[in-house]
Amino acid sequence: MTHERDVLITEVALRDGSHAIRHQFTVEQVTSIAKALDEANVPYIEVSHGDGLGGSSLQYGLSLTNELELIEAAASVVNNAKIAVLLLPGIGTMPELKQAAQLGAKMARIATHVTEADVSPQHIATAKDLGLETVGFLMMSHMAPTAKLVEQAKLMESYGADTVYVVDSAGALLPHQVSERIRALKDTLTVNVGFHAHNNLSLAMANTLAAIQEGATRIDGSIRCLGAGAGNTQTEVLVSVLDKMGIKTGVDLFKMMDIAEELVAPILEKPQEITRDSLVLGYAGVYSSFLLFAQRAAKKFNIDSREILIELGRRQVVGGQEDMIMDVAAELAAKKHAVNFI
């Protein structure tokens, strides 16, 4: 069944939400949620480790279930939705991308730091060769001025991306900053423009609406806010807001409400809310997936996790540098001990 849509939503709970539950998704959970999302007419469903293909590791967090099994399981139960995967060059590999395509993935989202689009041409080209709809995903977009973002987006477009996303990985952008960035991409690119929000400053919905008003037509949401940090734009809420605005998503609102309540809520270890740590993520501009690592390090070294996150922000640490979190915590603890000793 096809639906007229003004905005195409990618549901990211089965990828971004992996962070929130320590990458412990089961085949049964992914199968039931993907099937229900497909029945609710969600066009794209992203399934991967939180850090993308190949992310299961001691550094990023070990998955309970091999993500290729999860991708295959999701692909086996959808009739209309396309299964998407995330790949960060340097973490995920070409063979893993090929395997994902063989198992039923239809979209590849190739993610780089906002200033490092030049590491993605081979991955984007490979995705296109595999017949996948291909998205360039510019993470931590708050860390570069708009002109730099435009330059990097143009590179991804030149490599063959069908869509380029402004990704607010830290939930640090303010609505006027989102508007400025989306407007600049719309004025410059010929491909689709997308936006991915995090809710660490309680601005995911406002930022997403700002992006849509400036012409973004590809939007990410996570059902029940299941995502890293304080979660993403809550999909079932977004669908209801857009419906009230007369913006068509083609997604069944009541079914989304039921999925959120009956399938996703029981998986959450605790409600997705803006805690002091997730608030600091947005305030400091630190990658949302750092939260659980910082909490673990804080406990180990008996210091405040907020101090760790603020210091990571000061050092402009980016996704892929999770191993630095323990080092930073150790340094801060050593300084505190030295001060106390004096």
Supply φ then ψ for residue 276, to 5 degrees. Answer: -60, -35
Shared domain check, 73 and 36 = yes
Question: Residues 99-127: what's their mean pLDDT?
Answer: 98
Domain assignment of residue 281, yes or no: no
The residues pairing with 190 across neighbouring beta strands, listed in sequence order, are none
pLDDT at 1 over 50: no
**Which among 234, 267, 300 is the end of a domain?**
267
Question: From the candidates 19, 23, 49, 123, which is the catalytic residue?
Answer: 19
Interval 61-106: pLDDT, tens? 788 788 999 999 999 999 999 999 999 999 999 999 999 999 999 9
For residues 54 and 34, is the Cβ–Cβ distance under 8 A? no
Domain assignment of residue 283, yes or no: no
Q: What are all long-range contacts of 247-250, with beta carbons under 8 Å and residues at least 24 apart?
A: 247/6, 247/7, 247/212, 248/3, 248/4, 248/5, 248/6, 248/7, 249/5, 249/6, 249/7, 249/8, 249/9, 250/3, 250/4, 250/5, 250/41, 250/43
- Find the CATH number of the domain harbouring 33: 3.20.20.70
Shared domain check, 51 and 170 = yes
**Which among 267, 297, 321 is the end of a domain?**
267
pLDDT at 342 over 60: no
142 is an annotated ligand-binding site residue: no
196 is an annotated ligand-binding site residue: yes
Interval 14-50: pLDDT, tens? 999 999 998 999 999 999 999 999 999 999 999 999 8
Shared domain check, 294 and 263 = no
Shared domain check, 242 and 109 = yes
Shared domain check, 257 and 197 = yes
Shared domain check, 305 and 190 = no
**Which among 267, 300, 315 is the end of a domain?**
267
Side chain identity, residue 157 = E
Q: Which residue has the higher pLDDT, 121 or 293?
A: 121
Tokens of 320: 């892929």
Angle formed at CA 158 by CA 155 and CA 163, multiple of 5 degrees:
85
Shared domain check, 221 and 168 = yes
Confidence label for 291 from pLDDT (cuts 50, 70 and 90): confident
Question: Residues 189-201: what's their mean pLDDT?
Answer: 98
Interval 218-271: pLDDT, tens? 999 999 999 998 999 999 999 999 999 999 999 999 999 999 999 999 999 888
Report pLDDT for 336.
Answer: 82
Q: Is 3 a catalytic residue?
A: no
Distance CA 230, CA 52 (A): 19
16 is an annotated ligand-binding site residue: yes
Shared domain check, 332 and 226 = no
Confidence label for 340 from pLDDT (cuts 50, 70 and 90): low
Mean pLDDT of the chain: 94
For residues 133 and 161, is the Cβ–Cβ distance under 8 A? no
Question: Residues 261-286: what's their mean pLDDT?
Answer: 93
Shared domain check, 313 and 194 = no
Report pLDDT for 58.
Answer: 60
pLDDT at 55 over 90: no
Shared domain check, 302 and 215 = no
**Can you give the residue range of the structural domain that contains 82?**
8-267
Global pTM value: 0.93
165 is an annotated ligand-binding site residue: no
Measured N-to-C along each axis, helices 290-301 and 305-314 cross at an angle, to the nearest 10 degrees, of 120
Shared domain check, 200 and 295 = no
Shared domain check, 119 and 67 = yes
How would you classify the pairing of strands 218-221 and 82-87?
A: unpaired
Element (H, E) at 192: strand 192-196
Structural domain total, the chain: 2
